[in-house]
Amino acid sequence: MAFRSDAQQLAVVTPNRMMTLWNTADPAEPRRLGRFRYGRGIYAAAWNPVAVSLLATASVDGMTTVWRFLDDRQPEQLAAWQSPVTAQHIGWSPAGQWVFSVAPSGVASVWDMRSSYNVGQADLTGGRQVVAVYGVDDTIVVIAEDGWARWWSPRTRTGEWVRLTGAPVRACAHAGGLLVVTGVDGTLACFDARLDPAGELRVDHTQTYAVACTGDGRLVIAFGSGNVVAIGSDGDILWQLDAGPLTMVGVAIAGDLVAIGSGTARPYLVSLATGAALGGTGSGL
């Protein structure tokens, strides 16, 4: 799931490859704008960090597509590219000019939005399974399931592998210069923009489903049981809540707003500062 940077809209991709778009301008009354299915379905979606109306999707048929969503109008397709391998991860460079998609096998493609030029393609992992990707300046960082990571600059070279965790990775989050990686052993490790260690925590639950973070080090962790925990930048617990019997599809943060996603139900919206419910019920519409 992905928040628009201004927290006005939320895109939720469900296991059936449908994308639901929510208007979250009024967190107390999130409003469904529509459900979308492109080709044979959508794997992932990411909002442009600068041009807030642009949303990129990676679809089952291998297409990377950029859409413009304005108000309640039908989305406008701005660009589409065919990836050599079906991608399940998608993102933007921080400046919003490049859009990239990465297959689970590590094959990555990067396009320039202004020129539609293919900036580069590469096999980044040699078959290692990718669990997360994100952009830093003009580089792309891939996190492999086995706990290793590396960066790639399409215009220069590919970096060396860096060991992040000693256990397989369950979930990742990135914001600003912070990377958070949770392992299946309950370890939660933080890294800076250069992938140097920046701290480590242990969480009671090992069944971490999803994690989100802010650039100043605050974390929200969702567990398969429906429990959600927020941790401050000092490592102390800010709040805990039971989101109930949700079919978890992710957690996202924008400003002081936290969204806990669940299928086609309203997103469960809470305050990052207090955990107080703002909107959404977790129940069907």
Q: Average per-residue pLDDT in the chain?
A: 89
Is the model's pLDDT at 105 over the cut of 90?
yes
Is the model's pLDDT at 179 over the cut of 70?
yes
Q: Give the tens place of pLDDT for each residue, 224-240.
A: 777 899 999 888 999 99
How many Å apart are CA 220 and CA 214, to the nearest integer?
Answer: 9
For the chain, list the domains and their CATH numbers: 38-163 (2.130.10.10), 168-285 (2.40.128.630)
Share of the chain above pLDDT 70, in %: 93
Q: How many distinct helices (H) and strands (E) make up the chain?
A: 0, 28
> How many Cα atoms are found within 13 Å in the side-chain-facing hemisphere of 22?
30
Q: How confident is the model at residue 73 (pLDDT cuts 50, 70, 90)?
A: confident
How many Å apart are CA 60 and CA 35, to the nearest integer?
Answer: 16
* Cα torsion angle, 189, 46, 106, 184, sign: positive
CA-to-CA dists, residue 240 to 28, 71, 188, 232, angstroms: 20, 34, 17, 12
Q: Which residues pair with 189 in a beta bridge?
A: 181, 200
Neighbours of 137 (CB within 10 A): 11
Q: Residue 225: name the closest of 248, 253, 249, 251 by CA.
A: 248
Is the model's pLDDT at 115 over the cut of 80?
yes
Is the model's pLDDT at 222 over the cut of 90?
no
Query: What pTM value is reported for the model?
Result: 0.92
Is the model's pLDDT at 282 over the cut of 50?
no
Is the model's pLDDT at 78 over the cut of 70?
yes
pLDDT for residue 76: 94
